[in-house]
Structure 1
């Protein structure tokens, strides 16, 4: 019986644990542009079609493998307040019955009864939460969509004394939203997936052990 309980706890704790991120994840690996197949032939002219993008327009990310800087300006605030009050009163009364125009008595006492009942409920809840993320991260263009939008993805790892911190970002941006400095605000990234977390001693200290996770699991019946 004891072995069964221990095995159940391990299974539940293992199912509830999340997979820790790893460095050099292939999904966030840098994307390199394809090598130019057609060699540039010098014609003697100052104008070269291959460099028209650089001569007459701002240098912005527009090809697979290009790099763009995303300025993280995330800020969310949520507040919820609820208040409930319920009151209910009920009453029942029984008057003294009358027989032959005379009230019925028992031991010289009139027979009557009354019942009164009152119920009341009052509940109140208040929740307030706010989050903020500031910084920047450079990402690669991994795909150019048919409408010209760019699919970007990248990560940044920072190694500290007691662990690592990382930022991961992926999403879709419009070339029109890219500034002249080749940067864009994170609020203009569509379908954004932004992840900021850490690994190491500090991160492990904030997680509960498998035994506590077993008793705090929603499937625990008690």
Structure 2
């Protein structure tokens, strides 16, 4: 009884929270409180670089990041870089296995110092050592399997360096939300990159991200309709048939 009451209470709360969204567009996830926000607000001050002898602070050829030839690639916590996601993968696997085996045995003793004849007298009627046993066997197996998959995804998202590890590897995390009418599309990416893999355009491709976690989905009315109801999901889990 208590379990039923708790279950009904939980379903009621979930239903109430869903009813609050009726007629409203999905709200964006707040930026405040995210890892990107803390990385940028707590960003350490850039290291001061001694001026090059013979050059003024306004020289275009200085090594500072603000100069014409300065390195503007992300390298510290709070820096922003662009992650280029261009996935175009196709995999096809086709396996066929076949096996066929046939065997037969035929053994008999027609003569051996008169022993078979003496044994035949002791055997039941119709039995003879001339045809002791005769066996045959046949087995066959045929199996086949195939897998065909095609994935294509082209996205670009700005990510923030949230941490610089002691070995120089950068931990990045980025998120992007786009709302069209009553549907929000979410793009999340995180992982670890090497500073030297970042291009001069301050971009890095997804295949250079270690431990990459890329999520592309959405929430809203269309996504909600595509999902089965809560009761149906619970029934699919607990029903044994």
Judge same fold: TM > 0.5, yes or no. Answer: yes
Q: Where does 1:46-195 land on structure 2 (aligned, <5 Å)? A: 46-47=56-57, 52-55=64-67, 56-91=69-104, 99=117, 115-195=135-215
Partner of 1:32: 40
CA RMSD of aligned residues (A): 4.1
Residues 182-191 or 83-92, more deviating: 83-92
- Write the distance in 1 (CA, Å) between the matches of 2:193 and 2:211: 9
- Write the distance in 2 (CA, Å) between the matches of 1:129 and 1:148: 37
Residues 147-156 or 114-123, more deviating: 114-123
Q: Give structure 1 stretches of 5+ with no counterpart.
A: 11-21
Residues 151-191 of structure 1, C-alpha deviation per residue, up to 9 Å, x if partnerless? 11110011123421111011122222222222221222222
8 Å contact from structure 1 (residues 141, 150) kept in 2: yes
Normalising by structure 2, report the TM-score. Answer: 0.62
- Write the distance in 2 (CA, Å) between the matches of 1:151 and 1:105: 87
Deviation at 1:96, TM superposition (A): 10
- Write the distance in 2 (CA, Å) between the matches of 1:144 and 1:85: 55
Number of aligned positions between the proteins: 198
Indicate the structure (1 or 2) with the bigger Cα radius of gyration.
Answer: 2
- Bigger strand share: 1
Normalising by structure 1, report the TM-score. Answer: 0.67
**Structure with bigger RCO (C-alpha 8 Å, 6+ apart):** 1
Partner of 2:217: 197
Secondary structure of the residue aligned to 2:159 is strand
Deviation at 1:82, TM superposition (A): 2.2
Q: Give structure 2 stretches of 5+ with no counterpart.
A: 11-27, 49-54, 111-115
Sort the Cα spacing of 1:67 and 1:101 in 2 relative to 1 into closer, same or farther, 3 A: closer
